Structure 1
Amino acid sequence: MGEGRRRSGTTLLLLNGLPGVGKSTVAAALAALRAGTLVLDVDVVRALISGDPADTAEPARRLALDMARSHLRSGADVVVPQLVARPDQVVRFERSAAGAGARFAHVLLVATPETRARRVAHDVATHRQGLDPAVLDAYDEGLRRVADLPGVVRVDADAEPGGVAHQVEPLLDG
């Protein structure tokens, strides 16, 4: 979006995909293109909640959705780089956007297994280290169901993150 163009409304953009597909990198590139954008990493929110990690997922999701609504209401976009492999969880993001009077856009980033493996191998995030192939298969199966939801935009994430961000950025404008 050019500096001189005015926007109508705000958008909650869910950047979805398997680990290593580049969600966080594309989210950061989008934020660099658009001042005021909140990159809302639910895993970071989860890490802020004390206790057994098995008990922090739902409170983190609720808090992240509250944060998203608040930021959208302030007049700024929200980009959520998050693996969401269940349709009922996608609906929660849609409802949060609607509750803030914002648009909802859902991008499914897809990359080759080789690209994902290379990115995960160079990744220092502890929650992506040593991913079990059976877990990845379950995520992949869930994403196939999510990919069939109305309005999902599939984007080839094998390109450079900046190029993917420029491809995705128009979705923030509705």
Structure 2
Amino acid sequence: MPPTAPGRPPRLILLNGAPGVGKSTLARLLAEDRPLTLALDVDQLKHSLGGWEEDAAVSGQRARELALALIDVQLEAGKDVVLGQYLARTAFPEQLDAVAARAGAEFREFLLAVDERTLAARLAARVAEPETPEQAVNARLVGPDDAERLLASLDAMRAARPDMQSVDARGGLEETADAVRALLEGHTERR
């Protein structure tokens, strides 16, 4: 199958960051840049599993397995994938890297970075008025008081994944999207 653009292999783009920074919304926006790009939301997959709340850990693992299968099919077809997911452990990014490598795709990781005050404000807004069913569920699990802990977990992730590029996500969605686009266009080789 031909790649998504002449001379470029398909891309798997991981947008990591704390809950509430706009990962899923940004993934959908970036997916609009190229026809048939998949904006994948693992939380939506998890919440689509019947009885997922009975064992959230098992449901989360199953959702990631399903996500990997979808990503594999999409990349093999020569199409891009943009995935927004909060990840504080390295296992899933390592699996994503392996899926991309098997498909001859480029794997790019971005950390949507915000400060504690900004994150706490965004989490408070999401608790008050969730925009999606997934946000409503997550708002029960994570609130403004968790901002410091979430950011610390991402600092540890950044240390463990040195190729992950940070993007200032304190501004508006378009500004953040433009920053990610600029980084994507500035680097086209697989690492």
TM bin (shorter chain)? 0.7 to 0.9
Structure 1 window deviating more from structure 2 (128-137 vs 79-88): it is 128-137
Give the partner amino acid of 2:180.
Answer: V
Q: Could you tell me how far 1:56 is from its partner in structure 2?
A: 0.5
Aligned to 2:138: 128
Unmatched runs of 5 consecutive residues or more in structure 2: none
Give the partner amino acid of 2:23.
Answer: K
Work out the CA distance in 2 between the residues paired with 1:34 and 1:74: 14
Unmatched runs of 5 consecutive residues or more in structure 1: none
* 2:90 is the counterpart of 1:79: no
* 2:71 is the counterpart of 1:60: no
Aligned to 1:144: 155
* 2:68 is the counterpart of 1:88: no
Aligned to 1:48: 48
Aligned match for 2:72, one of 69, 72, 87: 69
> Does the aligned pair in 2 maintain the 1:12–1:77 contact within 8 Å?
yes
Going from structure 1 to structure 2, the CA distance change for 1:137 and 1:114 (only over 3 Å counts) comes to: closer
SS in 1 for 2:14: strand
Aligned match for 1:158, one of 170, 173, 176: 170
Work out the CA distance in 2 between the residues paired with 1:24 and 1:39: 8
> Does the aligned pair in 1 maintain the 2:124–2:143 contact within 8 Å?
no
Give the alignment of 1:87-106 within 5 angstroms: 87-106=90-109
User: Identity of counterpart residues, as a percentage?
Assistant: 34
TM-score (structure 2 length as normaliser): 0.79
> Does the aligned pair in 2 maintain the 1:50–1:56 contact within 8 Å?
no
Work out the CA distance in 2 between the residues paired with 1:112 and 1:157: 9
Give the aligned length: 170
Deviations 1:55-92 (A, max 9, x none): 20111101101101111111111011000110122211
Q: Could you tell me how far 1:15 is from its partner in structure 2?
A: 0.1
Q: Could you tell me how far 1:14 is from its partner in structure 2?
A: 0.5
SS in 2 for 1:14: strand
Deviations 1:84-119 (A, max 9, x none): 110122211111111222111000001123332333
Instruction: Output the aligned Cα RMSD.
Output: 2.1
SS in 2 for 1:35: coil
Give the partner amino acid of 1:141.
Answer: A
> Does the aligned pair in 2 maintain the 1:12–1:79 contact within 8 Å?
yes
Relative contact order (alpha carbons < 8 A, sep ≥ 6): 1 or 2 greater? Answer: 1
